[in-house]
Structure 1
Amino acid sequence: MSYAIIGFGKLGQALAKAFARSGIEVSVATTRDPESFASTTAAIGPEILPKTLADALKADIIFLAVRFESYRDVAKALPSWKGKTLIDVTNAYGVPPEELGGQPSSKFIAQAFTGARLVKGFNHLVAGVLDQDPAVKGGKRVVFLASDDDGAAAEIATLAENLGFSPIKLGGLSEGGLLVQARGNSWGQLIFKDLIKFD
Structure 2
Amino acid sequence: MHYAIIGFGSIGQALSRAFARKGIDVSVATTRDPASFAAEAAAIGSTVKPCTLAEAVNADVLFLAVRFEQHRDVAGALADWTGKTVIDVTNAYGVSPETLGGLPSSAAIAKAFSGARVVKGFNHLAAAVLAGDPAVNGGRRVVFLASDEEDAAADVADLADNLGFAAIRLGGLSQGGLLVQARGNSWGPLIFKDLVRFDK
TM-score tier by shorter-chain length is over 0.9
1:30-109 counterparts in 2 under 5 A? Answer: 30-109=30-109
Q: Deviations over 1:132-172 (max 9, x none)?
A: 00000000000000000000000000000000000000000
Q: CA deviation at 1:183?
A: 2.4
- Segments of structure 2 that go 5 or more residues without pairing to the other structure are none
Residue 156 of structure 1 aligns to which amino acid in structure 2? Answer: V
* Counterpart for residue 194 of structure 2: 194
Distance in structure 2 (CA, Å) of the matches to 1:108 and 1:11: 20
1:114-193 counterparts in 2 under 5 A? Answer: 114-193=114-193
Distance in structure 1 (CA, Å) of the matches to 2:45 and 2:95: 35
Residue 106 of structure 2 aligns to which amino acid in structure 1? Answer: S
Q: CA deviation at 1:109?
A: 1.2
Residue 94 of structure 1 aligns to which amino acid in structure 2? Answer: G
Distance in structure 2 (CA, Å) of the matches to 1:54 and 1:154: 27
Q: Deviations over 1:87-133 (max 9, x none)?
A: 00000001110111111000011111110000000000000100100
Distance in structure 2 (CA, Å) of the matches to 1:95 and 1:55: 29
- Please report the RMSD computed on the Cα atoms of aligned residues, expressed in angstroms: 0.4
Distance in structure 2 (CA, Å) of the matches to 1:187 and 1:163: 26
2:91–2:183 CA contact under 8 A, matched in 1: no
2:160–2:167 CA contact under 8 A, matched in 1: yes
Query: Which contiguous aligned blocks of 4+ residues in structure 1 show a shift greater than 2 angstroms?
Result: none
Distance in structure 1 (CA, Å) of the matches to 2:58 and 2:94: 32
Identical amino acids, percent of aligned pairs: 72
- Segments of structure 1 that go 5 or more residues without pairing to the other structure are none
* Counterpart for residue 4 of structure 1: 4
2:86–2:117 CA contact under 8 A, matched in 1: yes
Q: CA deviation at 1:66?
A: 0.2
Distance in structure 1 (CA, Å) of the matches to 2:7 and 2:182: 20
SS in 1 for 2:27: strand
Residue 48 of structure 2 aligns to which amino acid in structure 1? Answer: I
Residue 112 of structure 2 aligns to which amino acid in structure 1? Answer: A
SS in 2 for 1:111: helix
SS in 2 for 1:118: strand
Number of aligned pairs? Answer: 199
